[in-house]
A and B are shown apart, each in its own frame.
Chain A
Amino acid sequence: MSTARPWPDDDVSRVPYRVYTDPDIHAREQERIFRGPTWNFLCLEAEIPNPGDYRTSVIGDAPIVVVRGRDGGIAALVNRCAHKGALVCYKPRGNVSEFTCVYHNWTYDLDGRLTGVAFRRGVRGEGGMEEGFEPGAHGLRRLRTRTRNGLVFATFSDEAPDLETYIGRDMLSALDRVFVKPVRVLGYHSQVLPNNWKLYAENTKDSYHATLLHVFHNTFGIVRFTMGGGIRLSENGWHHLSFTERSADGSEREGAEAVRSLKEQYALEDPSLMEHRLELGDRITNSIQTIFPTLVVQQILNALAVRQLVPRGPGECELRWTVLGFEDDDESLEALRLKVNNLVGPAGYVSMEDGCIGGFIDTATRSAPEERSFMRMGGTAIEPAGASRVTEAAVRGFWRAWRDCMAL
């Protein structure tokens, strides 16, 4: 690192711009965050329903393969052959009875144990692997793996607490709220963003920007009968939940009529995409939940998704959306979800700006590594907030988590 202390004090409301661009910090994040004591979202159980089903994923820069075993259990393995380090699974998904590295045909079972080495005994007495070779010492690295509500998480770390403790009681109940029954994948989005991953991570925790950067609702005079809401944080500040909910006084109506325009000239011609069917047993219309470091769980009306943020070097990241419905959705509910999803994703009416705003910061801060942001909405505290959600507390919580891991 070019300075001994990139962050000269303990203030998490003022972030030195260096942390978004410095390659040494990026490398340290891989070691201390992604291969450190964090639980990382990998995929959904619903994507690998049958024994032998696998899909690839990542934790930071590390390639991972998640596989359903013969006993129905799930293993997360580092996708790197113990021989020469090649990818063992080079296709994104599939079904296998064992893993075979294409380079020299080393084979592994679904738990990652090495089961075969081509020409181990040589050919007609010539060549072959050295004496004393122990296959048991050359498996694919198997990570601690845990599922919750069909979400698969893994950690490289033996020191990370169990997943439930890591997420914390309040945040767990928020997570349980969305996954009330088996989900079905409706499809995937991917966005490559021209900025450091942390800028997007901050943005998802920044409820202050929601109505200011994303002016779709205001422009079209859409009144949302969302009277309540707030920000919740895990005890350590690492994870957050931001939500809005309808009033319970009966003034709201179901469906598209619940939305109207104050300015007729700017009204949506077809407001059906704002229709909302309450389906999660409460009156919450929007909820965004983050689990440090890179998971976002989203409910925007009936648009449900998990987003996995993937760093790609200091200056770029990929946002992978898995868009969900429930297994028991009927045709009309699925049609509604497809329509409501116009609000989110790479072309989302209230999310597309999140694709470019990080790049605007990246362009403007590259020349000023020693300067710092100023995020004092709500002061310097990391604490819950009420319905206005005009606070940067959850963003400060992100930096608390980051500094706890990074020891910087």
Chain B
Amino acid sequence: MTGAGEAPAARIARLNTAYAHAIDDDRLEDWPGFFTDDGLYRIVTRENREAGLPLAIVHCDGAAMMRDRVRAMRTANIFEPHTYCHTLGAAEIAEGEDGIHTARTNFTVVRTMHSGAMSIFACGRYLDRIVEADGALRFAERIVVCDSRTVDTLLVVPL
């Protein structure tokens, strides 16, 4: 992978793609590695966010909590098997201070059940703060804002 010489937009696009494909390919053990150790990952609804309400559907404060999420899903939680397919929009990027980039990327996640039933499970935007760490880009913060106020059945695989 190329690093510093490449334009930020291209690097962020690659980060987004790798993130989505790790989830879609069920490589969830790789998922916390897309974040800094103290990174923040939250799934929230647009309704709560626009009302200024702090509740999250998933709230991981640090990569350790993300690893716990994955291990709970693998070993403890019970749910009907299903897969995701992410489709991403182009990132809108702004460079802030100290090389921190903020980015917004729209996403759609189609969920396919073991039965074959498919549905648009989630649609919304990623609101990210992205930093350079050990020569790679990582999420210091990824807020997943879902347009719908409702979750169908349950949410276990991260978005």
Chain A contacts to B: CB under 8 angstroms: 185-194, 213, 215-216, 218-220, 266, 268-270, 273, 318, 323, 334, 338-339, 341-342, 345-347, 349, 352-353, 355-356, 359
Docked complex Cα distance between A215 and B73 (Å): 11
Docked complex Cα distance between A338 and B68 (Å): 16
Q: CB-CB < 8 A to A187: which residues of B?
A: 44-45, 48, 51, 53-56
A358 to chain B, nearest CB (A): 9
Q: B154 an interface residue at 8 Å Cβ cutoff? A: yes
Docked complex Cα distance between A207 and B96 (Å): 51
B48: nearest chain-A partner, CB-CB? A187
Contact A356 B58 (CB under 8 A): no
Q: CB-CB < 8 A to A345: which residues of B?
A: 57
Q: CB-CB < 8 A to A356: which residues of B?
A: 78-80, 153-154
B49: nearest chain-A partner, CB-CB? A187
Contact B76 A349 (CB under 8 A): yes
- Specify the main secondary structure of chain A where it touches its partner: mixed
Contact A347 B43 (CB under 8 A): yes
Docked complex Cα distance between A318 and B151 (Å): 10
The stretch of B2-10, B11-19, B59-67, B132-140 that contacts the partner chain: B59-67
Contact A318 B150 (CB under 8 A): yes
Contact A347 B67 (CB under 8 A): no
4 closest A-B pairs by CB: A187-B55, A355-B154, A187-B53, A346-B151
Chain B contacts to A: CB under 8 angstroms: 43-45, 47-48, 51, 53-62, 64-65, 67-68, 71-72, 75-80, 149-156
Q: CB-CB < 8 A to B62: which residues of A?
A: 270
Docked complex Cα distance between A216 and B71 (Å): 10
A190: nearest chain-B partner, CB-CB? B150
CB-CB under 8 A for A338 and B64, given A187-B54, A356-B78, A356-B153: no
Q: CB-CB < 8 A to B48: which residues of A?
A: 187-188
Docked complex Cα distance between A365 and B60 (Å): 38
B33 to chain A, nearest CB (A): 14
Q: CB-CB < 8 A to A346: which residues of B?
A: 57, 151, 154-155
Contact A189 B53 (CB under 8 A): no
Q: CB-CB < 8 A to A219: which residues of B?
A: 72, 75-76
Docked complex Cα distance between A270 and B61 (Å): 9
**A189 interface neighbour in B57, B67, B68, B76, Cβ under 8 Å:** B57
CB-CB under 8 A for A186 and B55, given A219-B75, A356-B80: yes
**A347 interface neighbour in B64, B65, B154, Cβ under 8 Å:** B154
CB-CB under 8 A for A191 and B151, given A270-B64, A273-B65, A349-B77: yes
Q: Given A338-B54, A346-B154, 8 other A-B contacts at CB below 8 A?
A: A189-B151, A338-B59, A341-B56, A341-B59, A347-B43, A347-B57, A352-B79, A359-B153
Contact B59 A339 (CB under 8 A): yes
Contact A193 B153 (CB under 8 A): yes
Q: CB-CB < 8 A to B54: which residues of A?
A: 186-187, 334, 338
A193: nearest chain-B partner, CB-CB? B153
Contact A215 B154 (CB under 8 A): no
Q: CB-CB < 8 A to A342: which residues of B?
A: 58-60, 65
**A352 interface neighbour in B51, B60, B77, Cβ under 8 Å:** B77
**A192 interface neighbour in B58, B67, B153, Cβ under 8 Å:** B153
Q: CB-CB < 8 A to B61: which residues of A?
A: 339
Contact A188 B59 (CB under 8 A): no
Docked complex Cα distance between A249 and B140 (Å): 43
B41 to chain A, nearest CB (A): 11
Docked complex Cα distance between A191 and B51 (Å): 19
B61 to chain A, nearest CB (A): 7
Q: CB-CB < 8 A to A353: which residues of B?
A: 77-79, 154
B44: nearest chain-A partner, CB-CB? A187
Docked complex Cα distance between A268 and B80 (Å): 24
Docked complex Cα distance between A192 and B148 (Å): 12
Interface centre among A187, A194, A218, A355 (most CB of B within 10 A): A187
A184: nearest chain-B partner, CB-CB? B53
Contact A188 B153 (CB under 8 A): no
Q: CB-CB < 8 A to B44: which residues of A?
A: 187
B76: nearest chain-A partner, CB-CB? A219
Interface centre among B44, B58, B77 (most CB of A within 10 A): B77
Interface centre among A189, A192, A323 (most CB of B within 10 A): A189
A54 to chain B, nearest CB (A): 15
CB-CB under 8 A for A216 and B153, given A187-B53, A188-B47, A346-B57: no
- Can you list 22 A-B contacts with CB-CB less than 8 angstroms, sorted by A residue number? A186-B53, A189-B55, A192-B150, A193-B153, A213-B78, A215-B76, A219-B75, A219-B76, A266-B71, A266-B75, A270-B62, A270-B68, A318-B150, A334-B54, A339-B61, A347-B43, A347-B57, A352-B154, A352-B156, A356-B80, A356-B154, A359-B153
